[in-house]
Structure 1
């Protein structure tokens, strides 16, 4: 049985592979500040993408995608704003994607929300 930390790391690795397969370029993983963390920062063409990864072992208690509620979106958005100020990356626009992993099913939700 995986610990919560191990399961999270496994989910982020799986999400990274899915993003790479779809043509994303990974810029950074696990950007952390006191207010929270960005799981993956990537580029999709000229778009800077902040990717939130959520996982559930199975769908018995809901889908992984349901775990990205308004409070979580707000927290990730705050950390992304800090990232933009600290790193000052060059990009045309930015968006937030979600990779939701429920059991063996992996779903990518592009443009889940914007700043």
Structure 2
């Protein structure tokens, strides 16, 4: 496994636990189709939440939140509709969130969550 992949998996694990602690129910992780991948799909009440996770080990590449551009947001919206269709949930409300996980040496990670980012 590449270091980058390990950091990403770590961040997705932290984000999944965080979302569950916020009361969401996880429906899928790393869901893929021809158009791309969704890191986490969760249910927040009756709303399907498509969540992009960005993990940072240091400040060298900026905030994880800054890494998700409007172009990526538009792609996530398309992927959300594909997930709804593929899983028999078409017509449910959907929202795209971003979770940034910042690793910190000798301290717990810092999590930033933007609901309805796109």
* Residue 17 (structure 2) pairs with residue 17 (structure 1): yes
Q: TM-score, normalised by structure 1?
A: 0.88
Deviates more, 1:97-106 or 1:3-12: 97-106
Map Cα deviations across residues 21-73 of structure 1 (whole Å, 9 max, x no partner): 11000011110112210000000111111011011112233111001101211
Identify unmatched segments of 5+ residues in structure 2. 104-108
Secondary structure of residue in 1 paired with 2:58: coil
| Corresponding position of 1:53 | 53
Partners of 1:35 and 1:5 in 2: CA distance: 20
Deviation at 1:5, TM superposition (A): 0.9
1:85 Cα deviation from its structure 2 partner: 1.5
Secondary structure of the equivalent of 2:82?
A: helix
How far apart, CA to CA, are the structure 2 residues paired with 1:74 and 1:90? 18
* Distance of 1:98 and 1:91 partners within structure 2: 22
Q: CA contact under 8 A between 1:28 and 1:42: conserved in structure 2?
A: yes
Runs of 4+ in 1 over 4 A off after TM superposition: none
1:36 counterpart residue number: 36
Unaligned runs of 5+ in 1: none
Q: Say if 2:113 is the partner of 1:108.
A: yes
Q: CA deviation at 1:92?
A: 4.3
